[in-house]
A and B are shown apart, each in its own frame.
Chain A
Amino acid sequence: MHHVVLEQWSRGSSPVHRFDPRAKLVVLLAVLISVATAARGLPLFAGALFLLLITGLRFARVPVIRVLTRAAVILPFTAVFAAVSWLAGDPARAFSLTVKSYLSALAVLLLISTTPLPSLLRAIGITGAPPFLLEVAQFLYRYLFVISEEAQHMTKAAAARGASVRQWIAQVHRFRAAAGALAILFARSYIRAEDVQRAMLARGFQGSLPLLRVTKFRTSDTVFLILASLAPWALRAAAERALP
């Protein structure tokens, strides 16, 4: 499962892992915006940024090839729109859609494979996002591991009962069976949530998740924030100047 792998990478240790999540978040936005608004000199800029991101991955000591492959999950979706744009007589857009979406996904992966999601959610919280929403996201991420395992057991059990018949009647039957399975999964999730709620109350929960540690923003984080946010823009300016 993809999120399990990412979770493991994100708990690694490297200079990139150690930077403050808030700094990394700002840098990600800087990179994404530089990509999203790039027009002139895009091929050159894209190539340079790609190398920059790979350098980041190397520093982070995460498996580069696997991250590059993972970022490619967006390509099928992109390919459809690229093809359509091509057909509509806009090959430049086809190119830019592909390159921009791939680079953006890669940049997000660099962040998420070096920052545990809960830390990232906390960093987002500092920007003033609703705490309730972030708590929901935190629980969602935590129980994603549990509930998706339950779902896997259910699909395996369904497969074991030989649910691969193709007749129409069988299809209707399978549709009903799948709906029943979902209903059971839903009901179980409901009970699970009740349990979690009780476990929280049992340990004196007051209504907001307490924080164990407030991370300090170090000088190195500031330096990283400034340099890494400027880097993509510098590359872009250079690429735009190189092309008349």
Chain B
Amino acid sequence: MTPLVEVRDLRYTYDDGTVALDGVDFRLERGETVALLGANGSGKTTFVLHLNGLLAGQGTVKVCGLPVEKKYLPTIRRKVGLVFQDADSQLFMPTVLEDVAFGLLNQGLDAQAAADRARAALDTVGMSAAAGRAPYHLSAGEKRRVAIAGILAMEPEILVLDEPTTFLDPPGQRALAELLGNLPQSKILVTHNIPFATALCNRAAFFAGGKIIAEGSIEEIVAGFAWDFSPERSKSHS
């Protein structure tokens, strides 16, 4: 069976000359949830932006067997739902309901059908009550949920979330993990939050310097790169 996502030797350099991706190889199989770990600036965000064609570097990126090229973009953007790190950038419409319906209206649904599906998606994330509100009055956790609803409404096959626990307090993180755990889609989670990753992912890939330098279980990666926070270790370093 073709993997859901297949990336080979992906390279990307920003306008200013920053080499952000330097030969990334990656696969995502159906039903998997993978954590992307790695230091700030190691290229994780740049990588996920390639998955639905928002950036186009050298190398191959295939989603459900389709190469990420201009003519397949509408299809691919329907299959890959990308939740951005900063929910404020994603919630740009005047009200929550309009925002969640945004993608559906772009797909050509009529207003009534779009509104119904948007309401259903809001229900899934437990935000039905906020439908008529303006996004700027929501808390960080609520914004994140609405942003996810906007993606879920489009019924993607793959969910990609870029640092979804940013700005969330521990109960918010727990609630988010619960919500994501109940969603059937395959997922890619960019995160620094090890407990969060452990709760949701069966596999982890570790980014450094624009490459994936290791893959394995969360425990292996965390142990291999000392990729967690512990007071003893930080003391011994100083």
* B84 at the A interface (CB under 8 A): yes
Query: How many B residues are at the interface, by size bracket?
Result: 35 or more
Does A198 touch B at the CB level, under 8 Å?
yes
Asked if A153 CB lies within 8 Å of chain B CBs, one says no
A77 contacts B by Cβ under 8 Å: no
User: Could you say which of A7, A202, A210 has the most chain B C-beta atoms within 10 Å of its C-beta?
Assistant: A202
Closest Cβ–Cβ distance, residue B171 to chain A (whole Å): 24
Residues of A within 8 A of B82 (CB): 202
Q: Whole-angstrom distance from the CB of B120 to the nearest CB of chain A?
A: 15
B89 touches A199 (CB 8 A): yes
CB-based nearest A residue for B98: A212
| Chain B contacts for A138, CB-based, 8 A | 94
Contacts A198-B49, A199-B92 given; does A205 touch B133 at CB 8 Å: no
Q: Which of A56-64, A124-132, A139-147, A163-171 binds B?
A: A139-147
Q: Could you give, for residues 70-104 of chain B, a 1 whenever the CB lies within 8 Å of some chain A CB and a 0 otherwise?
A: 00001001100010101011101111011001110
Q: Report B80 CB to chain A, min CB distance, Å.
A: 8
Taking CB atoms and an 8 Å cut-off, the chain B residues in 195-209 that contact chain A are none
Complex Cα distance, B97 from A116, in Å, reads 15
Q: Is the interface of A mostly helix, strand, loop or mixed?
A: helix
- Complex Cα–Cα for A202 and B161 (A): 13
Tell me which residues across on chain B come within 8 A of A209, comparing CB atoms. 93
Which residues from A are CB-within-8-Å of B94?
A: 116-119, 138, 142
CB interface residues, A 210-233, toward B, < 8 Å: 210-214
Instruction: Determine whether the beta carbon of B136 is less than 8 Å from that of A146.
Output: yes
Is residue B134 contacting chain A, with contact meaning CB distance below 8 A? yes
Q: How far is the CA of A142 from the CA of B143 in the complex (A)?
A: 14
Q: Which residues of A contact B114 (CB under 8 A)?
A: 212
What string of 1s and 0s marks CB contacts (under 8 Å) between B184-216 and chain A?
Answer: 000000000000000000000000000000000
Rounded to whole Å, the gap between the CB of A140 and the closest CB of chain B is: 11
B105 touching A210 by the CB < 8 A rule? yes
Residues of A contacting B122 in the complex (Cβ-Cβ under 8 angstroms): none
Contact B92 A139, beta carbon cutoff 8 Å? yes
How many residues belonging to A are interface residues under a CB distance threshold of 8 Å?
A: 30
Q: Are B134 and A11 touching (Cβ within 8 A)?
A: yes
**Which B residues are CB-close (under 8 A) to A204?**
74, 77-78, 103, 106-107, 154
Nearest-Cβ distance from residue A132 to partner chain B, whole angstroms = 16
Contact check, A203 vs B77: say whether CB atoms are below 8 A apart: yes
C-alpha spacing A223/B145, complex, angstroms: 42
**Cα distance A196–B135 in the bound complex, in angstroms:** 14
Mask of A24-45 contacts with B, CB within 8 angstroms, 1/0: 0000000000000000000000
Q: Could you tell me if A195 and B134 are in contact, using CB atoms closer than 8 angstroms?
A: no
Taking CB atoms, residues of chain B closer than 8 Å to A142 are 92-94, 135-136
**B132 interface residue (CB < 8 Å to A):** yes
Please name all residues of chain B whose beta carbon is closer than 8 Å to the beta carbon of A116 when the two chains form the complex.
94, 134
A11 — which chain B residues lie within 8 A by C-beta?
132-134
User: Which among B52, B93, B137 has the highest number of chain A CB atoms within 10 Å?
Assistant: B93
Chain B residues near A210 (CB, 8 Å)? 101-102, 105-106
Please report the C-alpha to C-alpha distance between residue A209 and residue B107 in the assembled complex, in whole angstroms: 12
Q: Which residues of chain B from 128 to 144 have any CB-CB distance to chain A below 8 Å in the complex?
A: 132-137
Is B136 a contact of A212 with CB atoms below 8 Å? no
State in angstroms the CA–CA spacing of A209 and B106 once bound together. 9
Q: Which positions in A face B, CB cutoff 8 Å?
A: 7-8, 11, 116-119, 138-139, 142, 145-146, 192, 195-196, 198-206, 209-214
Given contacts A8-B137, A11-B134, A142-B136, 13 further A-B contacts (CB under 8 A): A7-B134, A138-B94, A139-B92, A196-B89, A199-B90, A200-B92, A203-B77, A203-B106, A204-B77, A204-B154, A205-B102, A213-B111, A214-B111
Instruction: Give 23 A-B contacts (CB < 8 Å), ordered by A residue.
Output: A7-B134, A11-B132, A116-B134, A139-B92, A142-B94, A146-B136, A195-B89, A196-B92, A199-B84, A201-B77, A202-B77, A202-B84, A203-B106, A203-B151, A203-B154, A204-B78, A204-B107, A205-B106, A210-B101, A210-B105, A212-B97, A212-B98, A213-B111
